[in-house]
Amino acid sequence: MKETLFVKKTLEFSKNLHIDLVKKLFVFDDVDSTNRIAKELALANAEEGTVVVARTQHHGRGRFDRIWQSPEGGVYLSIILRPRKSTQKISLLPFVAALAIARTINLYGLNANIKWPNDTLINGRKIAGILLESELKEDAIIYVVVGIGMNLNIDIRDFSPDIQPQSTSMSHELGSPVDYHEFLRTFFIQFEKAYFLFVENQYERIIAEWKIHTDTLGKTIRVQTSTGTLQGIALDIDPFGFLLLRTENGEIKKILSGDCLY
Ligand code: BTN
């Protein structure tokens, strides 16, 4: 671990964090990907609540093998979870994480919307993303790594031109920078609250609260799935996290994951 000012300050911050869920914080200055490190730790038996945080990533990964641009000023973290649940419940964890992010952003006076399943947007521009990776054995969850990238104090011009028009950051929206550690604390509190609902089997409540923040339902959308593209009206989310889509011929399709375009 290179002991930069970021690492020093964040380790100091972690000593006074006192959030039950966050058991241990590994802090790095620059890494390839916090998800990769978290998976390595999970394989070495790291406990639930182990978190990896980095100032920057040089190989941040997004969904669908995309690159997650990770310049200085963003929040890049991965949380190891080991829920004692059946594997089918994993599909609700993206909702848990998205809910925590949206609530965090809202606490800063901004209106965050969730685009199904888990992109957080402000005024239609992406501010945060979630990448879940897991290891399952038969019907047991061995571990889940919840990787989260949030654009905090980033000048949009630090992103490559192709993603600038659809990206935003907290500092861009607020017109001034946000305290990194205060934001991290707020996020951990919200994540713990949302994850608690999951641990307590309050799945319908998770979906109900997620729905308060989503702007996908009711819209005509196109979803790219591993088996093809579907178009229709996003009707609802079922208690397992499936999107119910009414296609043009009136059929109701249940979709677990995909890339959603408005
Ligand atoms: C997406 O919207 O495509 C998901 C982006 C997830 C990015 C985060 S940043 C921290 C963690 N480490 C990674 O390599 N990816 C996730």
Mutate to test the pocket of ligand 1, among 61, 159, 166, 168 (most ligand atoms within 8 A of CB): 61
Cα 118 to averaged position of ligand 1 atoms, centre (Å): 11
In ligand 1, the atom with minimum distance to the C-alpha of 32 is: 14
Any atom of ligand 1 within 6 Å of the Cβ of 118: no
CATH topology of domain 5-213: BirA Bifunctional Protein; domain 2 (3.30.930)
pLDDT at 1: 63
Quote the distance between the C-alpha of residue 167 and its chain's center. Answer: 15
SS3 33: coil
Tokens of 211: 């729905």
In ligand 1, the atom with minimum distance to the C-alpha of 129 is: 2
Cα 61 to averaged position of ligand 1 atoms, centre (Å): 5
Any atom of ligand 1 within 6 Å of the Cβ of 33: yes
Domain ranges of the chain: 5-213, 220-261
pLDDT in tens, 44-63: 999 999 999 999 999 999 99
Mean pLDDT of the region 109-125? 96
- Of the listed ranges 1-15, 101-115, 183-197, the one predicted with least confidence: 1-15
Quote the distance between the C-alpha of residue 80 and its chain's center. Answer: 13
**pTM greater than 0.95:** yes
Mean pLDDT of the region 231-255? 96
User: 């879940």: which residue's tokens?
Assistant: 132
What CA–CA distance (Å, rounded) separates 183 from 162?
28
SS3 85: coil
Mean pLDDT of the region 117-133? 97
Neighbours of 107 (CB within 10 A): 14
Cα 242 to averaged position of ligand 1 atoms, centre (Å): 22
- How far is residue 66 from each of residues 59, 61, 63, 215, 258, measured CA to CA in Å? 10, 6, 6, 23, 14
pLDDT at 249: 94
Q: What are the contacts of 243-246 at 24+ separation with CB within 8 A?
A: 243/116, 243/117, 243/216, 245/221
pLDDT at 2: 73
Strands, sheet with 252-255, edge to edge from the N-terminal-most edge strand? 252-255, 243-247, 228-237, 220-225, 259-261
| Level-2 CATH architecture, domain 220-261 | Roll (2.30)
